[in-house]
Amino acid sequence: IGSITRRQEFARLGREGRRRRHGCLWVAALVSEEAGGVRVAYALPRKAGTAVERNLVRRRCRAALAPLEPPIPAGWYLIGLTRPARDISWRDICTDLPPALAVPEIAVVTRQSGRLQRGMLGAVRWYRNLAPGRPSPCRFFPSCSEYAEEAIETHGPWRGG
């Protein structure tokens, strides 16, 4: 299991990746053979706890990733916390990580992408990229526009829009 180090990989993961939240963890994933294996990064802000607590969670996540069966598909994965690091135990990580990594299942689009769906997705993506150099003013992760994009991709323009 490698790590994500290049800015382009993070940008692509943010643009095309699918997010899923389960228990104490959230995962943004982009399944692709271009990654050259499994590449993982961790988003653990200072708000999550002290450096010691955040590093402990990082080590526990790495240890929990190794023995997963079936193995994780090749791609880029960003793992983050939904609550403070001091409140997360080894058992929490072991039980919440496999379901959170099931992101590729929801990323598969079963419907034919029509003009209306492409137009709606384009509008949502345009709205999200209005201020590319500045941080998002939204305090929620994932944002409402990311939820809208996922709903349109998964359920089509009529039910998802």
Closest CA to 40 of 83, 85, 75: 75
pTM value is 0.60
Report whether 42 contacts 61 (CB < 8 A).
Answer: yes
* Residue 104, H or E segment: helix 103-107
Q: For the purposes of burial, counting CB atoms within 10 Å of the CB of 59, is it exposed (0-12), middle (13-18) or buried (19 or more)? A: exposed
Question: In this predicted model, what pLDDT tens digit does every residue of 85-144 receive, in sequence order?
Answer: 888 888 888 888 888 887 544 343 334 567 888 888 888 888 877 766 666 667 776 678
Instruction: Copy the structure tokens of residue 42.
Output: 């961790």
